[in-house]
Every structure is written in structure tokens, then in C-alpha cells.
């Protein structure tokens, strides 16, 4: 019996069109599948947590689906993990958007609303600005200040894990890395060639064959 090829699990917890991230990974030649039941996944090569809409609704749906347990286990085990948009926000302890609703608590801090005086949500292409010392694995091989597509009203706080920002009424966290945990506030699956390059860098971190 042939062993199953290691796969990237894209967590499908019933929020919006989560299949777009899976399709982008498959386009890159990566083995990726939507997962609705934690029992379906034994040892994923990587895990992707997409998210659209409101923090509270996403957090509750993730826990109700049982996939929150899978997410925490993967992170604890050092499995490469990518949070996208609200999926990134869920890595933090909570959000001003949903007081009292806990995130995964992997990263310290509370997600906050975008700066006063800017239009919310930010729905536009915006440039990334690299931040911090050392190379960011998600941005390896990308040109300086690449354009990415954003749709959001809230963003994580700036911290040591922030590797890129965008300018929207001031610096706004746009990408994070800490160990095997990665996150993007922008949508790489909707950001053309530059977004696909970000996803390709994540795929490389998982070690799966393309």
C-alpha cells in the first residue's frame, strides 16, 4: 500500500470562500486539501487558516468545528502554519472587534481597529514595507515594497513578530513570522504573482514536493 503524500491542510470551518487559498496552493503544485474534520488529518506538512468577516464569528466557528484543536496542536508541534487575514488575527489573544472572545493566543496582544481618519475597511492594493532585522522567509525573493491586496478593518498590533507593514494612516501590521508560525493581513491568494510568491515561500517552508 502506497503511503499518502504529505499534504497541506486548509482549515474549512464554514466561513466564507476558504477554497480560494486551497486553489492557489494547488496552482503552485502543492498538495493541499480542505479539511472540515480534525480526524481527517494525522500529520499535515503544513496548515493554512484563512478567515474573512468578523473576528468573533470566525473564532466561534473555528472552535465549534473542532479545528481549533488541530490548529493548536500543529503550532505546538512546530508544523508550518499560515494565518490569512482574519486567520492571522485569530493567532492573537483577542480583538477589539469582539471583546471577551478569545483567539488562539499564539501571539501576544490584541487586534485593534485601523487608525482613526482612514476609510474602513481598507479595500485596496497597498505596498508592503519590510520591518525588523533579518530576512523574512515569506518575502524571500520578492522585490522591495511589493503590492498586495487588502480587505480589512482591524489589524494586529506591531510587535517583534511583524516582518512587514503597509502604510494606512500610519504603519499597519501586514505580515508576521515567529518560528514556524506565519501570517498575512493581506490576501496572498488574491494578490497576483506577488501573492503566489508568498504562498510558494510558505510551501517551501513545509517541505512538500511540488
Respond yes or no: is residue 152 known to be catalytic.
Answer: no
Question: Is the distance from CB of 21 to CB of 46 less than 8 angstroms?
Answer: no
Task: Pick the closest to residue 159 from 77, 78, 102, 91 (CA basis).
Answer: 91
DSSP structure string for 34-82: EES-GGG-SS-SEEEE---S-HHHHHHHHHHHTHHHHHHHHHHTT--EE
Residues 85, 161, 166, 177: which is the catalytic one?
85
Task: Pick the closest to residue 22 from 12, 14, 186, 81 (CA basis).
Answer: 12
Respond yes or no: is residue 187 known to be catalytic.
Answer: yes
Respond yes or no: is residue 166 known to be catalytic.
Answer: no
CA dihedral 11, 14, 18, 22 (to 10 degrees): 40
Question: Is the distance from CB of 86 to CB of 59 less than 8 angstroms?
Answer: no
What is the DSSP pairing of strand 107-113 with strand 147-152?
unpaired
CA distance 205 to 180: 8
Supply φ then ψ for residue 82, to 5 degrees: -125, 120
Residues with a known catalytic role: 85, 187, 189
Amino acid at each position: 500500500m502506497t503511503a499518502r503524500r504529505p499534504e497541506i491542510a486548509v482549515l474549512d470551518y464554514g466561513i466564507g470562500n476558504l477554497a480560494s487559498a486551497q486553489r492557489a496552493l494547488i496552482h503552485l503544485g502543492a498538495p493541499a486539501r480542505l479539511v472540515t474534520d480534525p480526524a481527517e488529518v494525522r500529520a499535515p506538512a503544513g496548515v493554512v487558516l484563512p478567515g474573512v468577516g468578523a473576528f468573533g464569528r470566525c473564532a466561534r466557528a473555528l472552535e465549534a468545528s473542532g479545528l481549533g484543536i488541530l490548529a493548536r496542536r500543529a503550532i505546538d508541534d512546530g508544523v508550518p502554519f499560515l494565518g490569512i487575514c482574519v486567520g492571522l488575527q485569530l493567532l492573537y489573544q483577542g480583538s477589539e472587534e469582539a471583546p471577551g472572545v478569545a483567539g488562539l493566543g499564539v501571539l501576544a496582544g490584541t487586534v485593534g481597529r485601523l487608525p482613526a481618519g482612514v476609510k474602513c475597511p481598507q479595500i485596496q492594493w497597498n505596498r508592503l514595507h519590510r520591518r525588523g532585522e533579518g530576512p523574512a522567509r515569506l518575502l524571500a525573493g520578492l522585490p522591495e515594497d511589493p503590492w498586495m491586496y487588502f480587505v480589512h478593518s482591524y489589524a494586529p498590533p506591531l510587535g517583534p513578530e511583524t516582518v512587514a507593514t503597509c502604510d494606512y494612516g500610519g504603519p499597519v501590521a501586514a505580515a508576521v513570522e515567529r518560528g514556524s508560525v506565519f501570517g498575512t493581513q493581506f490576501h496572498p491568494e488574491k494578490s497576483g504573482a506577488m501573492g503566489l510568491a508568498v504562498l510558494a515561500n510558505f510551501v517551501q517552508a513545509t517541505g512538500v514536493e511540488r
